[in-house]
Amino acid sequence: MNFKRNIIVTGGAGFIGSHVVRLFVNKYPEYRIINVDKLTYAGNLANLKDIEDKPNYVFVKADICDFDAMYELMQKYAVDGIIHLAAESHVDRSIKDPFTFARTNVMGTLSLLQAAKLMWEAQPEKYEGKRFYHISTDEVYGALQMNRPEGIEPPFKTVASSEGHKAYGDDFFYETTKYNPHSPYSASKASSDHFVRAFHDTYGMPTIVTNCSNNYGPYQFPEKLIPLFINNIRNRKPLPVYGKGENVRDWLFVEDHARAIDVIFHEGKIAETYNIGGFNEWKNIDLIKVMIKTVDKILGNPEGHSLELITYVTDRLGHDARYAIDSTKLQKELGWEPSLQFEEGIEKTVRWYLDNQEWMDNITSGEYEKYYQDMYKGR
């Protein structure tokens, strides 16, 4: 079968990657989507059960750091687009084991860039019609000040805000904000972003970088705040709040991120950076209370029943105070908007985890349980 495009999505068995693969496979039957994933602890083919038999979907288990394998794969499928999500993604793990983060996030990205460059440069049309799209994070910008701890009404249209939404400072991350990463995770992502831009500036590779805020939604590995806490509330386990719970994160529903990736892959300008976010800042503790309220409501518990599970623990080392993305450029230039109001997104997410207990149990019953116990030892 001849496909109009052959696109590699790396990290497609992970949280965000699985939403991107699903969207592209369903929306573009004329494209072949090649999901390249090493299946680390975070990769899970159960995330893609519903599309695994589609004729335009291919799964390849491979390590992005393996240059020869990447080059061969790109040749085999005459790949003309790469959407690169594969990464080590958890900040706490990067604090314990920075080497793995440098290997996958930096060397892995470099290996993909070099393989794509060699292949495309050898073709008569070279870079024409090609795309190397690198998915990055707002964490590369560092931390913003929380100089309005009680919050202010943000000076922009807040499409994803709920009642009571606040901006906790008067500065935001813009595409022009200088990089200032703090954690080994964000340092590795910053380095990979620089390599991607360097391949454009040096060789003329058709690259795009986007920096997105915190994602939430179905299929997120339960080491991350939202799925971890939903599962702990359900199992009446402690909810380990780092520090005072005052840190601010800017949350976006994962399907909105996937839609942004679709728009930017097709319509974004080469060499540009786009920030992706929904102007949706929450202090951790306030967000945790929304989760508790939602889970208790759905499980039929009395209001406030699970508040007693909140347990303040030792803070994350170097814990960034506040992230807040300004996505005006993306909204104005490409017309993307987040679709979900936050409480709506949280309710949808809580229902998904409660309805998909088997998915959760398959993860939490094995090796991961041991890791989780070690992680919280001494906190």
Residues with a catalytic annotation lie at: 138-139, 185
Q: Name the residue with tokens 């951790």.
A: 284
For the segment 11-70, give every residue that binds ligand NAD (CB under 6 A): 11, 13-17, 37-40, 42-43, 63-65
Binding string, residues 125-164; x marks residues near ligand NAD by CB under 6 A: ----------x-x---------------------------
Query: Residue with structure tokens 């983060």?
Result: 101
277: three-class secondary structure by DSSP = coil
- Residues 37 and 86: their CA atoms lie apart, in Å, by 7
Query: CA–CA separation, 99 vs 344, rounded Å?
Result: 38
Q: Which range in 17-25, 89-97, 111-119, 344-352 contacts ligand DAU by CB under 6 A?
A: 89-97
Question: Who contacts 300 (Cβ-Cβ below 8 Å, separation ≥6)?
Answer: none
Told to check if 224 binds ligand DAU by CB under 6 A, we report yes
Q: Least distance in Å: CB of 366 to ligand NAD?
A: 15
Residue 99 CB contacts under 8 Å (≥ 6 apart), including other chains:
none
Asked whether position 264 contacts ligand NAD by CB under 6 A, the answer is no
Binding partner of 37, given ligand DAU, ligand NAD, none, CB within 5-8 angstroms per partner class: ligand NAD
For the four alpha carbons of 86, 213, 182 and 238, in that order, the dihedral sign comes to: negative
Size of the site for ligand DAU (CB under 6 A): 19
| Triad 312, 317, 321: Cα angle to 5° | 75
DSSP 35-97: EEE---TT--GGGGGGGTT-TTEEEEE--TT-HHHHHHHHHHTT--EEEE--S---HHHHHH-
Query: CB under 6 A: which stretch of 85-93, 155-163, 193-201, 309-317 binds ligand NAD?
Result: 85-93
How many angstroms separate the CA atoms of 141 and 148, rounded? Answer: 19
- With respect to ligand DAU, which residue has the nearer C-beta, 213 or 231? 213
63 part of the interface to ligand DAU, by CB under 6 A: no
CB-based burial label for 22 (10 Å; 0-12, 13-18, 19+): buried
Burial of 115 (0-12, 13-18, 19+ CB in 10 A): buried
Place of tokens 């993305």: 325
Query: Is residue 363 a contact point for ligand NAD (CB under 6 A)?
Result: no
Whichever of 216 and 359 has its CB closer to ligand DAU, that residue is 216
DSSP symbol at 173? B
Pick between residue 309 and residue 340 the one whose CB is nearest to ligand NAD.
Answer: 340
Q: Select the residue interacting with ligand DAU from 249, 257, 283, 293 (CB under 6 A).
A: 249
> Quick one: which of 94, 214, 294, 364 contacts ligand DAU (CB under 6 A)?
214
| Residues in region 314-333 near ligand DAU by CB under 6 A | 316, 323
Residue 65: which of 87, 94, 33 has the closest Cα? 87
How many of the chain's residues bind ligand NAD (CB under 6 A)? 30
Residues 201-220 within binding reach of ligand NAD (CB under 6 A): 212, 214-215
The full length of the chain comes to 379
Q: From its phi and psi, is residue 378 left (phi > 0), alpha (psi between -120 and 50) or beta? A: left
Contact partner, 241, from ligand NAD, ligand DAU, none, Cβ < 5-8 Å per class: ligand DAU
Q: Residues 151-190: x/- map of binding to ligand DAU (CB under 6 A)?
A: ----------------------------------------
- Least Å from the CB of residue 375 to ligand DAU: 8
Q: Please report how close the Cβ of residue 307 comes to ligand NAD at its closest, in angstroms.
A: 26
Q: Is 198 left (phi over 0), alpha (psi -120 to 50) or beta?
A: alpha
- Partner whose binding site includes residue 135, from ligand DAU, ligand NAD, none (CB under 5 to 8 Å by kind): ligand NAD
Element (H, E) at 118: helix 109-121
- Contact stretch for ligand DAU (CB under 6 A) within 5-13, 112-120, 165-173, 234-242: 234-242
- Where on the chain is the footprint of ligand NAD (CB under 6 A)? 10-11, 13-17, 37-40, 42-43, 63-65, 85-89, 104, 108, 135, 137, 189, 212, 214-215, 221
- Where on the chain is the footprint of ligand DAU (CB under 6 A)? 89-91, 137-139, 213-214, 224-225, 228, 240-242, 247, 249, 284, 316, 323
